[in-house]
Structure 1
Amino acid sequence: MIRQCFFRCLLDSHAPIKLPHNVEIFVGRSKITKIKDQSCSRHQISLKADCEQCEVELKPLGINPSGLDGFALKRHGQYKVSHGNRVEILLNNHIHIVEFDPPPDDYEPPKQIKRKLEDNNQETSPRKRCKIESELESDIKETMASVWEAIDGGEVYIYTAKGLKSSNKIAAFDMDGTLIKTKSGKVHPVDINDWQIAFPQVSKKLTEKLNDGYKIIIFSNQSPIGNGRVKIEDFKKKIEGIVEKLNVPIQVYLATGKGFYRKPATGMWKLLAEKKNDNIPIDIGSSFYCGDAAGRMANWAPGRKKDHSMADILLAENLGITFYTPEQFFLGHSIANVPMNKPEFIPKELKPEPFNEALISTEKELLVLVGFPGSGKSTLVKQIEKKSGNRYVAVCRDVLGTWQKCAAEATKLLKQGKSVIVDSTNPDTESRARWTSLAKDMNVACRCAIMTTSKAHAQHNNKFREIMKINHVPISDIVFHTYKNKFVEPTVREGFKEVIKVKFSPTFDDKEAETVYNMYLLEK
């Protein structure tokens, strides 16, 4: 038997190129490949097939890099390519498959999915026939017309395309940078028409998943709609155009606010699972999520910028489902050697801490708290007040407005025989000196309690309060950055009798609050 070798375009945009045994063939920009891209050389790669060993020797020759199964190749290097390997004539573009006919003896083709229903000619029992007919009726249930819905006053918009069927298997995707990219080449679209399909394989891959019984979903954070920079009516036209272009029925979720619906929080998925899947339970093990916000570091591929966030990969972590980058899913790349950032704060690793009884003194004192906004100072205040039988009373700058008013109130309380807790951030020696000076004037002891809560942890707490709609004003990232830049570690040399370090200990009103807290809530 004479074995042949072919170099086949993944998109079938041209006839397979035959690679004769032991003959060097040059492939690149040409009429044969229909590649017109000037960054691709006419002799971009050379291929020499060994039809006896079922191997192809590949040499990259072009100025711009070629790729093999997602990895950039060194110019003038020599690589061995096997049956089924993907060769990118230009890295990430013009993907071709090496195929031997017949395939190698040890080659195992992908397993075929068995038909769920018996062949029509096979006899079935009445009970089994009823079950099959019931399943067929369920399969027929689909959206008869495209529809838009607004949830929670426009916190989420949902578009359900005509022909969409619910399923226990979910194929979920981010939108920007995953299914589409800008035509302009800018990071953010200049208008609602500034988009194009991100990869040539997108529509084909979505169709494959649809045919495998998956329900196709898009989860997208779209704060410009929430803050009024983009009109929802204009954006609806963009979504409808994208779905029409992809030519598969899709359900699209747009989170416009900053609360529980915004990724990486799981609000959009919760809506899907509980209200938008026709009461069909979702099989987490068979479902997946694909997005470009994966925390990849700069130059994760040649010349590529770092990912703008980790929102997509952390959403998948929160849900416990398989995650893919767009390059993995659509191009077959590996991320085994891709450098990835990790979250600074991992909520599930936080353990409850016992109350430090040393925080309560037997003598009258001024206790100065130090810590990021959201570090747990207010919770600590309540604990001290309760455990001391209200011998301690707090003065809070967030309530009184200025440190001068806090100082006046503290003076009055100390004169009444109370111990006073100063509930403020107090990041530097200057802000703390006000209180050591007041304690000295009032002839009382002054101690310091510093919250060890990190910046990322405090930001997580702030986000949690925002999501749970706890009565706190949301804090901007600028405030956290300012505190970190001004912070000076407090010491007894400032005039404190003692400096106590306090670990944050979470408390929850119910199980739902605890579940939300243990999720990744920050995007970076």
Structure 2
Amino acid sequence: MTVIKGCRLICPNNTHDPILIPDREPVYVGRSEATRCIDPRCSRKQLEVIADWESGEVTVRQLGLNSSAIDGIELEKDRKCKLPKGGTIYLLVGMYPQRVEFTYKESPKSPSSPKTENSEKKNKEKKEALKRPASDHTSSNPKVKKPRISSVQGSKSHEIENGSADKAVEEDEEDIKQLEEKLKILKKNAAEKKFAFSSDSEGLLADNEQKKMTSSGKGKRGGGETSGSSLSKTLSDGSSLKKTSAGSCKSPATKSSSAGSDSLNRSAKESEGPPATETKWQPFEKLYVCTRKGVRARDKIAGFDIDGTIITTQSGKTFPTHSGDWRILYPEIPGRLKKLHADGYKIVFFTNQLGVSKGKTTIEDLKTKFGSVLDKLGVPAQILISTGGGMYRKPAQGMWDFLCQKANDGIKVNIDDSLYVGDAAGRPEKWATKKKKDFSCSDRLFAMNIGVKFYTPEEFFMFQKTAPFSLPEFDPRATVSARIVDPPSASLTSKSQEVVVLVGFPACGKSFFSKTHMIPKGYVHVNRDTLGSWKKCVDVCAKALREGQSVVIDNTNPDKESRQRYTNCAKTAKVPCRCFFFTATITQARHNERYREMIDKSHQPINDMIMNTFKSKLKVPELSEGFTEILRINFVPKFKDSKNERLYKQYLLEK
């Protein structure tokens, strides 16, 4: 038996030394030398952590004003939460991770009775006997009870004991024989399962394996069987097995050879995995995954949203009033899902639940609710729940990527045969009689990002016609212009002293443009985010001009009043002033902002209110304001790698 002898708080990134946690005494962690956290948003007593050594339970309570998190789920101030086993605590959401680690020691054994000691000894001898060769399981087998000889030879007791011993020997020998037979069968199956394709581009069987199959006439994999001669015939024409975009193997052969290919696929068993033996809930960063008992990994995915697609509220309200406020949307849904499952589809639900990170609901409530929904549907399914923003929130395809890479037992998903159904489809007001406008387009965009067929619930379950819809004005998949400036003949910098005033939405690329094109040419960079106020910006600009330097004003500068401050500086210094107007729309700027949040966890998000404020104040700059030239600057993204480029070219906005 083991008992806890110590507890400490450690950083997975090894940024600080372990912090000891006494038994059932509160420890306060936050901005301190012990945690090496100097973030001013983090309180000195940001979290209270209490560990119970006897039970191994850890409770966490947020005391600071800014949100902490457990496994990516934001905490609510002053509310005690139990830390899941192996869970990660974040002093601030997504930052400064901490883990609780217990250390153990063996407790002293209590005195055992002679009877208990004898029982343990017999069990130990029995286990050792099974490890010996079959030849040892006879008279030398310590597992076998030897006949006890009575002091009175030929007595009745002697006969009974001898008979019992002989019977025990026979039963033990029979058990050993059965175990050995099972072992032989397992070894034989394991050897036969080693048949596989060679890694050459033609996709033919490795020569030695092909010979074995041809001679034996049969090949097995995953329990299926196929004729060796039939398999050789199927592949002998030199047809290559090419990988499709979905990652599955398809032969380019004609329909006449499709039967052989189907036989091969069935024997390979690459389209299905074993059923889950129990229901599991697994937490990841801003993602929870529920895999119900009986779910099989499959190469065909039937994906569904939940709210508004599978269920609706019983109360008739837009949002549920409690975890039991739901009903199945259409009576046809359970039967249709069962038919899909019978046809070889894996049923997977993808749902955004931002209310978890905002404290409006809990993952425990969702477990109860979705468990009841699956019971009602009567079909084994998997659920992926995005609890916050970022990669996993639809329409970004993070949940789908997680499914394919980590939650499908290595079975490659066939995109062409998969589908997705959701109600956030971008349909306008009155797309059908008495129907409201869809709250967003996230489900349709999610399917477009993945590349699977998309249906609304009405189209899929009720076989209604496709309804009209609209997509966001900014299409990230479109080829971006490689031309940075209009007119193309214009020069971005000047050899003479000047002031350049930038105008554009937040996240439209102004700072990146300044650092790439202006600062390397000697321009003094003036930015309100770093200086703190427009007055300091004006002072720095005037000082640089007095010292004979050129200046770039990297602020949003939406109206004439804000721009006039710098045209006046240029006029006083008797130098020209140009304006660079960034053409990115508010939709593209919001897309850029969402992209930055996903690739840079240290980035401070810019909310929609700031974007809308700029839009309401924006006055397109004119030469009459005192500018000698106005250039239009196009947004041309630069990517660190192909992964970032792929992410940027997804639809990331829900509307």
TM > 0.5 fold call: yes
Change (3 A) 1:350 1:425: farther
Residue in structure 2 matched with residue 66 of structure 1 by the alignment: none
Task: Say whether residues 1:229 and 2:321 are aligned partners.
Answer: no
Q: Percent identity?
A: 43
Task: Report the AA paired with residue 445 of structure 1.
Answer: P
What is the CA distance between 1:188 and its match in structure 2? 1.2
> Is structure 2 residue 490 aligned with structure 1 residue 361?
no
1:350 Cα deviation after fit: 3.7
Q: Partners of 1:245 and 1:294 in 2: how far apart?
A: 26
Which residue of 1 is the match for residue 219 of structure 2?
A: 127
* 2:462 maps to 1:331: yes
- Decide whether aligned partners of structure 1 residues 245 and 516 sit closer, same or farther in structure 2, where only a CA change above 3 A counts: same
Query: Considering only CA atoms, is the larger Rg found in Structure 1 or Structure 2?
Result: 2
- Are residue 372 (structure 1) and residue 505 (structure 2) matched? yes
The 2-side partners of 1:311 and 1:130 are apart by: 39
Distance 1:137 1:297 in 2: 42
Shift of residue 223, structure 1, vs aligned partner:
0.1
C-alpha distance in structure 2 between counterparts of 1:513 and 1:199, whole Å = 40
Q: CA deviation at 1:318?
A: 0.5
Aligned to 2:37: none
2:567 corresponds in structure 1 to 436
Aligned pair partner of 2:396 in 265, 273, 281: 265
Matched, 1:242 2:357: no
1:163-174 counterparts in 2 under 5 A? 163-174=294-305
Q: Is the 8 A contact 2:579 2:631 kept in 1?
A: yes
1:310 corresponds, among 441, 458, 464, to 441
Change (3 A) 1:473 1:136: closer
Q: Answer yes or no: is 1:341 the counterpart of 2:474.
A: no
Partners of 2:526 and 2:569 lie apart in 1 by 14
Q: SS in structure 2 opposite 1:433?
A: helix
Q: Bigger relative contact order, structure 1 or 2, given CA contacts below 8 A and separation 6+?
A: 1
- Alignment partner of 1:218 out of 345, 349, 357: 349
**Which residue of 501, 513, 516 corresponds with 2:647?**
516
User: What is the identity, as a one-letter code, of the residue corresponding to 2:359?
Assistant: G
Maintained 8 Å contact 1:384/1:392:
no
Q: 2:109 maps to which residue? A: none
| TM-score (normalised: structure 2) | 0.59
Task: State how far apart, in whole Å, the 2-side matches of 1:130 and 1:364 are.
Answer: 75
- Conserved 8 A contact 2:518-2:552: no
How many Å apart are 1:125 and its aligned residue?
Answer: 4.8
Structure 2 runs not aligned, ≥5 long: 1-215, 226-266
CA distance in 2, matches of 1:137, 1:385: 55
Residue 434 of structure 1 deviates from its aligned partner by 1.1
Question: C-alpha distance in 1, partners of 2:602/2:338?
Answer: 46
Structure 1 distance, partners of 2:626, 2:311, is 60
Secondary structure in structure 2 of the residue aligned to 1:271: helix
- Please name the residue that 1:192 is paired with: 323
CA distance in 1, matches of 2:437, 2:420: 20
SS in 1 for 2:297: coil
Residues 325 and 415 from structure 1, CA distance in 2 versus in 1: closer, same or farther, beyond 3 angstroms?
same
Evaluate the alpha carbon distance shift between residue 444 and residue 129 of structure 1 in structure 2; reply closer, same or farther with a 3 A threshold: closer
Aligned residues: 395
Matches within 5 A, 1:95-110: none
Partners in 2 of 1:198 and 1:178 — Cα distance? Answer: 7
Residue range with higher mean Cα deviation, 376-385 or 250-259: 376-385
What displacement does 1:130 show? 7.4
In 2, Cα distance between the equivalents of 1:341 and 1:358?
Answer: 39
Letter aligned with residue 234 of structure 1: D
Report if aligned partners of 1:144, 1:163 keep a CA contact under 8 Å in 2: yes
What secondary structure sits across from 1:448 in the alignment?
strand
Partner of 2:72: none
Q: Does 1:147 align with 2:247?
A: no
- Note the aligned Cα RMSD (angstroms): 1.8
Distance across 2 between alignment mates of 1:130 and 1:443: 82
Q: Corresponding residue for 2:532?
A: 401
For residues 380-433 of structure 1, what are the alpha-carbon distances to aligned partners after superposition, in whole Å with 9 as ceiling and x for unaligned? 101223552xx1121111111110011111122222222111111111111111
Task: State yes or no: 1:482 paired with 2:613.
Answer: yes
TM-score scaled by structure 1? 0.73
CA shift for structure 1 position 341: 1.3
How big is each residue's C-alpha offset from its partner over 1:453-503, in whole Å with a ceiling of 9 and x where there is no partner?
A: 011000000000011126432111111111111111100101111111110
Given the superposition, is the C-alpha separation of residues 284 and 426 from structure 1 closer, same or farther in structure 2, using an over 3 Å criterion? Answer: same
- Residue ranges of structure 1 left out of the alignment (5+ in a row): 1-123
Q: Contact 1:181/1:198 (CA < 8 Å) preserved in 2? A: yes
Does the 8 A contact of 2:526 with 2:541 survive in 1? yes
Give the Cα–Cα distance (whole angstroms) in 1 for the partners of residues 386 and 545 of structure 2.
50
Q: Please name the residue that 2:633 is paired with.
A: 502
In the alignment, the residues of structure 1 paired with residue 362 and residue 312 of structure 2 have an alpha-carbon distance, to the nearest angstrom, of 20
Q: Runs (4+) of structure 1 moved beyond 3 Å?
A: 128-131, 133-140, 354-357
The more displaced of 356-365 and 177-186 is 356-365
Distance 1:301 1:295 in 2: 13
Relative to structure 1, is the Cα distance of residues 165 and 445 closer, same or farther in structure 2, using a 3 angstrom cutoff?
A: same
Amino acid at match of 2:651: Y
Q: In the TM superposition, what whole-angstrom CA distance separates every residue of 1:318-350 from its partner, at most 9, and x where no partner exists?
A: 011100000011001110xx2211211001214
- What amino acid maps onto 1:367 in structure 2? V
